[in-house]
Structure 1
Amino acid sequence: MSFYPLVQLRRAASQHSFNRPVFSCSVHVTEGIAEILEQCEYLREINGSDIDGNSVNFNDYIDQEIELTFRTPRTNESQFYQNLNAFLDNFTFSYSEVVELPEFYLFDEDLYYSANSIESDDDDIFSRLKLLIRSVAKLENLAHYHDEKMGDSRTLVYLSGEHRTPIVLSVSISENLLSKDINFSLLNELTSAESELNMHYSDKLSVFYASLHEFLGGGYAPDEAFNKLIDSWGAFVALYQNNLSTYLSGFSFHKAKKEVAEAEIELSEKLTNLTSDIVFKLFSVPASVMALAAIMQKGQLDALVFVLLVIGVIVTILLMYGLLKSQKNKYESLEKAKDLVFSSIDGKEAEYPDELNTEITAMKSRLNKHFKSTGKWLGYYKVAIFSPLIALILFIIIA
């Protein structure tokens, strides 16, 4: 049952004191106070006399000043605390697995928290505490393991492949850590279910662990390391973002360099295959010319042989021209592919380091020369496929 009625009594009392777990107060009883007293549990004394709470009729005390003594609850779920530090000292050890706050009351600060938003006080310290608790739970999810040798404290251990000494955080929430708003969105980003679908998720985790070692690698005690991390969380996030940017820039550089090299290799191979196909097919051209030369040596050429020879030469030329036309189309397609590769690179020179820009410029020069050379050879092949016809015409003229 809620102890909110006790909080109401404390605020209505003319005098009050708290010596855990005993809460004492002097209050002038009105009808409203009598209704509150009817809801109170844990009452032990009225005006110094022990009582049975069920037998008291508080309406009998209306318009009287009475002294009340209560023994407040001391369960893990709801308690009175002398002040915030007393609550935090208890919370660090007793509520290590709790994400949501329990019901509690801070006597010195006169602050009451409850899941019932109507009764609960609206104070920044509660929202900051809830956020910090959830963030600690996320830090726990990111930890490699929990060190059980550190006693009852909530101890988190983080490893890094580059460092032999792990980073150990002993969770100890202090009032100082609740004095300002802290943006823990980085932890949300690293622990959300959607983040695991990101192609760089494992890289981000590695950078996170490396940044922890860089930020806390100065030989801090576990509790000091935790307080430094939370108190300087903004500085840690800035370090992480800088390290991640550096890592991804290097990743992008190597990726872009690999893509440039692969594009050059692929285009060069296709150009070479295109040229090789034509050369292989054009072996029939010198064979045709040699056949004509052999016929010329005989000195005789009847009409049928001549007609067949002419037909063979023409068919050969048509086939070779069709092949050349097909290869020319492939060449033009490769030119468009080259332009697409270049267009995806152009305009990003400022983002690339000088080494990559130099490599891109050299690649463009090599590919342009290769395309220019292939284009010339296609022109030469176009002339070459008509050589049998030219030889036939010369043969007729000579004959």
Structure 2
Amino acid sequence: MFHLQIAQYIEKEKLFGLKDKVLIALSGGADSVALLRVMVYLGYTCEAAHCNFHLRGEESERDESFVRRLCKKMNVPLHVIHFDTSGYAAQHQVSIEMAARELRYDWFEKLRKEQNADVIAVAHHRDDSVETLLLNLIRGTGINGLTGIHPKNNHVVRPLLTVSREDILAYLKGMEQDYVTDSTNLQDEYTRNKIRLNLLPMMETINPSIKSSLFSTASHLLDASVIYNKVIEEGKERVLTEEGISIEKLLAEPSPRALLFEILYPLGFNSAQADDIFLSLDRQSGRRFFSSSWMVVRDRTHLLIKDVSLQAAETEDKPVIKEERFPYTTEFVIPRDKKTACFDADKINNPFTLRKWKAGDKFVPFGMKGKKNVSDYLTDAKFSILEKENMYVLCSGEQIVWLVGERTDNRFRIDKDTKNVLLLRLI
């Protein structure tokens, strides 16, 4: 019955075909051992992949030894890799759990291609999906967070998703198949384990079939999310512009708050933060909101979105300016391109310095006679807050020569007395 249930689910969800080669993620735990036994029994061509994360001392070595013995006994090719998980987590500033996940799935995909496997089968089951739903509900999520674990994600498939942990243990017991137990799964330490060991047993006192009910609800929501996501994508196309999120267009949507959440959630903003940003729409501009890697700024007409991660900061370069000097002739035509600036070379006597503008900076905009604050100029020209922050000035001594990429200073313009031209191009 167990084998039939899995076979029917594989066929129903079109996870893979009988002639496909399946790479089994084999930890040695009950669920992964059951997955391997079922796939081999059903006649699929299987290879196994085991990750040793070196996080549990002797237990990690025990798991690897068990997996090696099992695959040898079943005549299944096995691939093993060792990871310095703690080192990776520290280097990339992520949690141990996230580090293990990234290392595992990156290697699985690489191995799948090397071995010409069609899919990577992982052993998530019904209880895992229910725990994921509750975990997301507790943290705060939209409809997509309530759909549980999906049967298929690119090349990753989950054939055991309709069976419970209890079903898996009964299956293994019936064939007298042993497995290893991760001691951390028995500890009331992480949030998921608290859900598994405390919350779900308490909910079962109210509804003994709570896991089945929640899984069924997640399945219905998964179907509904297909329609929901289609509408959300259409909404994104209407409100997202090169500048950011158009506030006017967002507020014209049938459900602007939901659409805003779906735009911001993938950037690391939770539901409470998305609500705060939504409430800022009828308030004064200038407010800033941060996730771990992104910033949203409430500007006059748009919500501006900027990547503020360490990687983005490292790749943010100063403007590159190419300099050219030559004698002035009457045939010379001054370019109208804002990325090009022309000056009377003999009026510039001090070396150039390039910096971001600061409060109090003044210059004489080309075509004008009096000085103007750079801040006032940028405001009058309707620069956004982020565009203002990214504006550079090219200075000769203490004097601003060029608001780079925008406007030159009139004091250094070419006139009837010009003998030499200085041409600057923004690369």
Question: Could you tell me the TM-score, scaled by structure 2's length?
Answer: 0.19
Question: Could you tell me the TM-score, scaled by structure 1's length?
Answer: 0.20
Q: Would you tell me which structure has more strand in proportion to its own residues?
A: 2
Structure with the greater alpha carbon radius of gyration: 1
Q: Would you tell me which structure has more helix in proportion to its own residues?
A: 1
Name the structure, 1 or 2, with higher relative contact order (CA <8 Å, separation 6+): 2
